[in-house]
């Protein structure tokens, strides 16, 4: 069955959804995006996702095509029209279509596209098994805090992981883990402290990361926001990643080295349960 997608003010079957070949999202990745999870037909942490969208737009000097309330209404309508019970909603804003020129066009209208994707979130098999990752040099640009569609480095990293027979990749710069290719990275040090890199231009300020850290606060789980090395990661008692489309995935191996006993750890499992409980209750 074909999906209904949203393109610039219209809800159309996906076969009929069209964007210009001159769209700057296509030509320059001059575009930002958001992914919000949907659980039992409800948008999870969406206000925070739209606040980050506003920040990304601001950082690239692009005005929001619509007020936040209108965007939320369209997201909800798309979820309803597609009867999406569990999955994600993707939203992208580009600077629009114009003759190819690096300098911003003066009169282009931004392109706003949204579509849904079905995905098992709560009973995701990867949450039960945990994922295996490899480390890879962080070859991305200097503004990873902006959620742009320029994701070639992430595609290359995920492809390398796939070819290595594992699930994902962690980016490493100067011996320090920055983040996962599409998620934030956490380790549990042998002394019981949870560690994740501090916010800055090297990582995306993950919404799920922020919620998980708030849950750590509420449950008195000690954490530090600081860079951690690949050596610390290999020696960790647990590791996990967070993102809207995975919630919390335990990491059971890094570069072929088992983390802890090589099975999903109790802290990652507990934080995942707490996250789902909070998302369901909000
Ligand atoms: N880092 C990167 C590089 C990502 O692509 C993502 C997911 N888009 C995240 C972190 C996680 O962010 P969030 O929890 O908001 O999905």
pLDDT by residue, tens only, the chain of 282 residues: 689 999 999 999 999 999 999 999 999 999 999 999 999 999 999 999 999 999 999 999 999 999 999 999 999 999 999 999 999 999 999 999 999 999 999 999 999 999 999 999 999 999 999 999 999 999 999 999 999 999 999 999 999 999 999 999 999 999 999 999 999 999 999 999 999 999 999 999 999 999 999 999 999 999 999 999 999 999 999 999 999 999 999 999 999 999 999 999 999 999 999 999 999 998
Instruction: Write down which residue in 69, 90, 118 finishes a domain.
Output: 118
* Phi then psi dihedrals of residue 104, to 5 deg: -55, 135
Comparing C-alpha atoms, which of 121, 90, 116 is closest to residue 25?
A: 90
Instruction: Write down which residue in 77, 101, 118 finishes a domain.
Output: 118
Pocket of ligand 1 contains residue 199 by CB under 6 Å: no
Q: pTM for the whole thing?
A: 0.97
> Do 114 and 140 share a domain, yes or no?
no
- Given CA atoms 118, 206, 131, 33 in this order, what sign does their dihedral have? positive
Cα separations in angstroms, 133 against 50, 157, 160, 170: 29, 10, 10, 7
Comparing C-alpha atoms, which of 177, 143, 142 is closest to residue 157?
A: 177
> Do 111 and 42 share a domain, yes or no?
yes
Pocket of ligand 1 contains residue 182 by CB under 6 Å: yes
Structural domain total, the chain? 2
> Do 239 and 274 share a domain, yes or no?
yes
Cβ neighbours, 10 Å, residue 177: 26
DSSP 148: B
> Do 246 and 135 share a domain, yes or no?
yes
Comparing C-alpha atoms, which of 45, 128, 25, 24 is closest to residue 88?
A: 45
- CATH number of the domain within which 133 lies: 3.20.10.10
User: What pLDDT is stored for residue 216 in this prediction?
Assistant: 97
> Do 103 and 138 share a domain, yes or no?
no
Collapse the DSSP code of 271 into the 3-class scheme (helix H, G, I; strand E, B; otherwise coil) and give the result.
helix
Q: Could you give the residue ranges of the DSSP H alpha helices within the chain?
A: 24-28, 46-59, 68-81, 125-129, 152-163, 207-218, 230-234, 266-281
- Given CA atoms 236, 127, 167, 33 in this order, what sign does their dihedral have? negative
> Do 146 and 67 share a domain, yes or no?
no
Between the CA of 106 and the centroid of ligand 1 the distance, in Å, is 31
Between the CA of 60 and the centroid of ligand 1 the distance, in Å, is 18
Pocket of ligand 1 contains residue 96 by CB under 6 Å: no
User: What pLDDT is stored for residue 174 in this prediction?
Assistant: 97
- Given CA atoms 100, 104, 107, 109 in this order, what sign does their dihedral have? positive
Instruction: Write down which residue in 100, 118, 136 finishes a domain.
Output: 118
> Do 247 and 129 share a domain, yes or no?
yes
Six-digit token pair at 195? 């560690």
- 23, 111 Cβ separation under 8 angstroms: yes
User: What pLDDT is stored for residue 205 in this prediction?
Assistant: 98
> Do 243 and 185 share a domain, yes or no?
yes
User: What pLDDT is stored for residue 1 in this prediction?
Assistant: 66
> Do 44 and 75 share a domain, yes or no?
yes
> Do 104 and 184 share a domain, yes or no?
no
Q: Domain range holding 250?
A: 125-281
> In whole angstroms, what is the distance from residue 240 CA to residue 265 CA?
9
Pocket of ligand 1 contains residue 35 by CB under 6 Å: yes
Comparing C-alpha atoms, which of 142, 134, 138, 201 is closest to residue 174?
A: 138
Q: What's the angle, vertex CA 156, arms to CA 245 and CA 141, rounded to 5?
A: 85
Compute the chain's Rg from CA coordinates: 19
Between the CA of 196 and the centroid of ligand 1 the distance, in Å, is 13
CA dihedral 233, 132, 29, 42 (to 10 degrees): -100
Collapse the DSSP code of 169 into the 3-class scheme (helix H, G, I; strand E, B; otherwise coil) and give the result.
strand
């Amino acid at each position: 069955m074909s999906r209904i997608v949203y393109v610039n003010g219209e809800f159309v079957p996906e076969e009929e959804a069209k964007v210009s070949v001159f769209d700057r999202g296509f030509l320059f990745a001059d575009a930002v995006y958001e992914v919000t999870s949907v659980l039992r037909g409800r948008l999870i942490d969406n206000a925070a996702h739209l606040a980050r969208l506003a920040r990304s737009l601001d950082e690239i000097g692009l005005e929001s095509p619509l007020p936040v309330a209108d965007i939320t209404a369209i997201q909800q309508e798309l979820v309803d029209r597609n009867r999406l019970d569990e999955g994600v909603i993707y939203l992208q804003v580009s600077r629009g279509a114009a003759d190819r020129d690096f300098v911003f066009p003066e009169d282009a209208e931004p392109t706003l596209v949204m579509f849904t994707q079905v995905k098992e979130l709560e009973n995701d098999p990867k949450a039960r098994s945990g994922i295996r990752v490899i480390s890879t040099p962080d070859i991305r640009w200097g503004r990873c805090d902006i959620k742009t569609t320029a994701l070639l480095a992430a595609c290359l990293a995920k492809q390398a992981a796939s070819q290595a027979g594992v699930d994902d990749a962690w980016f490493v710069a100067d011996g320090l883990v920055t983040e996962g290719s599409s998620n934030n990275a956490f380790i549990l040090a042998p002394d019981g402290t949870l560690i994740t890199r501090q916010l800055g231009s090297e990582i995306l300020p993950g919404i799920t990361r922020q919620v998980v850290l708030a849950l750590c606060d509420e449950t008195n789980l000690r954490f530090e926001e600081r860079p951690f090395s690949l050596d610390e990661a290999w020696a960790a008692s647990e590791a996990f990643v967070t993102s809207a489309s995975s919630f919390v995935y335990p990491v059971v191996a890094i570069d072929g080295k088992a983390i802890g006993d090589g099975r999903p750890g109790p802290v990652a499992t507990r934080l995942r349960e707490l996250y789902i409980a909070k998302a369901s209750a909000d």
